Amino acid sequence: MMKKQFLYTGLAVMLSLSAVAQQDQNAVKFGQIINAQRGRAHLSILASDEYEGRETGKKGAWMAADYIKKQFQSFGLKGPVKGGNDPYFQKVDLVTYDLTQSSLSINGKAKQKNTDFLISNASVGINGLDINANEIVFAGYGISRDGYNDFDGINVEGKVVMVFASGDPTAKTSDTEKPNQRAIMMARQKMMSNIAKNKPKAILLIDPNFDKTPNYLKEASANGRIMLKNAASAKALERPIPYVTITISPATADEILKAGSTSVAAVTQKIAESGKPASQVLNVSLVANATKKENAHRGENVLGFLEGSDAKLKNEVLIITGHYDHIGLVQDPNAKDKVNNGADDDGSGTTGVLLMAEAFSKAKKAGKGPKRSILFMTVVGEEKGLLGSEWYSENPVFPVENTIADLNTDMIGRVGEPYLGKPDSANYVYSVGSFKLSTELGKIAEQVNDTYTKMKLDYKFDDPKDPQQIYYRSDHYNFAKLGIPVIFYYDGMLEQDYHQPGDEISKINFDLLAKRAHLTYYIAWELANRANRPVVDKNADGSSKTN
């Protein structure tokens, strides 16, 4: 039974692919609109300093959304969104929960925010913070391991515990070994996890570099991360925070340790010389408070709709996506280059969507439009956690069951390692997810590539053991979760300039961008015109539906 079913399915796929064996001259004709010159024109605007890095919820992203909308209008695409203020904009409900005030007092003496202490947004639940304690437990470095335990003989459950934030000074390292940022972060995480097992009410972290931390970073820590206002976020916000973390300066710690007739310098020296903990209970009163407020932020997915020409097939929709947001301005006021332009990430993919939208629109005006409908959608909030595509997946403009596939372009403008300097450096693309849900879609993509673009398709990131987990890191994934087959095209540029001001338009290979957009366009042309939509023969985990 299974062998027969496989045989029939394989035969159907082979028959369906035979239609791609030769070039469609209409596809080639209108595909000429996708070229380096047009690509440069769009990207020079989207990745300009004027657009301020297109951060979600900020001016630059709104400017990008308006630009894309005007392009869609000029092509003749329709705005398919109903019930909003603008049919081209799908409003995405974005919010942050920001700290409006925070305070700390020691023995009745008020401390100064950002000078003496810092309560970060992540440490405060949705209902705010209110701590009143009459003692503080000093627990050294918060370490528990063989031969050394800062918690030996003390109980911190439900109490305020104070520890150094600077790793394990008693751990043995080689003379040549130097701590790196990742090692420091891992040590901090291990320490915090160890402290959490002891169930404290709050943790005071003594930061030796508190006074050197730039004020802009301290101020930014009060801001909440931008998120969707949806059921999942509401549920997450309801979860109680197991403990509060308050960062304090060494001077504030000295004030607390004074109750034990010691100081930061003295207790540090004592632990270093003895190799033993110096934990103790300090009779110090502490009051900490903080409140949060919900703030709404503007954000929208920009949608341009091209209705299909076939009376039956036009109810089926192919979606072509790219995210237009990036990470915005550099926070450091002393930075020479203050704009994260995001030319490759993902100005390049957004440019590709615009080029394809114009090509298909020209084809329709000439009476050669696709049989199925196509939704061109640039989404917001990808850099904040795939927010725009998640919003669309929960609030689809067109029924999910009528959506035949999503083709996603995210970073298609540069040459990444290991292709730098190689003969095929300007003729490759990473193909991600094309076989994950639909064997047929993957085969169609390969046949289209063989027929038109002849690029090297690199499937490296389809490996389930991919340490980067790229498949889960762009907007196609929110369609895949719904069982919609996807392809994500990507240049692999994670080494140079990724999320840095150096991601500039001057580094874009526009011929390569256009070629990758051509590949996506020809696949879209095939999918929008073929007799049948791609068969979904696999489950979300990659297992066969026939098993």
Same domain, 285 and 215: yes
Residue 313 has φ and ψ, to the nearest 5°, of -75, -15
Mean pLDDT of 50-78: 98
CATH number of the domain bearing residue 100:
3.50.30.30
Residue 152 one-letter amino acid: D
Q: What single-letter DSSP state applies at residue 55?
A: B
Same domain, 388 and 246: no
- Whether residue 378 has pLDDT greater than 50: yes
Domain with 348 in it: what CATH number?
3.40.630.10
Helix axes 36-46, 510-529, angle to 10 degrees: 110
Strand partners, 204: 162, 246
Residue 545, in any domain of the structure: no
Of residues 392 and 194, the one with the higher pLDDT is 392
Same domain membership, residue 129 and residue 57: no
Residue type, 472: Y
Question: Range of 71's domain?
Answer: 19-92+317-529
Q: Both 411 and 288 in a single domain?
A: no
Mean pLDDT of the 532-547 span: 86
- Cα–Cα distance, 234 to 511 (Å, whole number): 45
Q: Tell me: do 452 and 525 sit in the same domain.
A: yes
Q: Distance of alpha carbon 322 from its chain centroid, rounded?
A: 13
308 lies in some domain: no
Using the CB atoms, write b or e for 73-99: b if 16+ within 10 Å.
eebebebbbeeeeebbbbbbebbbbeb
Q: With cut-offs at 50, 70 and 90, classify the pLDDT of residue 545.
A: confident
Nearest Cα neighbor of 63 from 75, 53, 72 is 53
* Element spanning 385, H or E: none
How confident is the model over 417-470, as pLDDT tens digits? Answer: 889 888 889 999 999 999 999 999 999 999 999 999 999 999 999 999 999 999
For 187-234, the DSSP string reads: HHHHHHHHHHHT--SEEEEE-TTGGGS-HHHHHHTTSPPPEE-SHHHH
- Same domain (yes/no): 103, 143: yes
Residue 191: the pLDDT is: 84
State the residue for tokens 């990758």: 516
- Identify whether residues 342 and 470 lie together within a single domain: yes
Neighbours of 291 (CB within 10 A): 15
Contacts with 305 (C-beta within 8 Å, 6 or more apart), sequence order: 77, 78, 79, 80, 373, 374, 375, 376
What count of other Cβ atoms lies within 10 Å of the Cβ of residue 394?
Answer: 13
Do 333 and 286 sit in the same domain of this protein? no
In a domain, 282, yes or no: yes
Taking only the tens place, the pLDDT of each residue in 213-263 is 999 999 999 999 999 999 999 999 999 888 899 999 999 999 999 999 999
Neighbour count for residue 277 (Cβ, 10 Å) = 23
* Helix (H) or strand (E) segment spanning residue 269: helix 264-274
DSSP 420-472: TTSTTTTSEEEEESTTTS-HHHHHHHHHHIIIII-PEEE-GGGSTT-TT-GGG
Q: What is the pLDDT of residue 4?
A: 37
Classified as helix, coil or strand, 538 is strand
Count how many domains the chain has.
2
CB atoms within 10 A of CB 176: 5
Match 């270093």 to its residue by tokens.
272
Banded pLDDT at 185 (limits 50, 70, 90):
confident
Q: Please report which confidence band the pLDDT of residue 172 belongs to, taking 50, 70 and 90 as the band edges.
A: very low
Last residue of a domain, one of 260, 295, 330: 295
Domain end position, chosen among 295, 325, 351: 295
C-beta of residue 326 within 8 angstroms of C-beta of residue 346: yes
What pTM does this model have? 0.91
Regarding whether 450 and 358 lie in a shared domain, the answer is: yes
Question: What angle do the packed helices 439-448 and 510-529 form, to 10 degrees?
Answer: 130
Closest CA to 340 of 352, 351, 353, 325: 325
Helix or strand (DSSP H, E) at 85 = none
Q: Are the beta carbons of 370 and 306 closer than 8 angstroms?
A: yes
* Gap between the Cα atoms of 203 and 206, Å rounded: 10
- What is the rounded CA–CA span in Å between residue 229 and residue 94? 6
Strand partners, 132: 287
In a domain, 10, yes or no: no
In a shared domain, residues 341 and 376: yes
Beta strands 300-306 and 89-91 are antiparallel
Q: Is residue 228 part of a domain?
A: yes
Q: Residue 111 has which token pair?
A: 């401390």
**Is the torsion defined by CA of 357, 363, 366, 370 positive or negative?**
negative
**Is 382 inside a domain boundary?**
yes
Residue 46 has pLDDT above 50, yes or no: yes
* Tokens read off for 361: 């629109």
Considering the domain architecture, whether residues 514 and 376 belong to the same structural domain is answered as: yes
The alpha carbon of residue 395 and the mean position of all alpha carbons in its chain are separated, in whole angstroms, by: 20
372 three-class SS: coil
Q: Is residue 302 part of a domain?
A: no
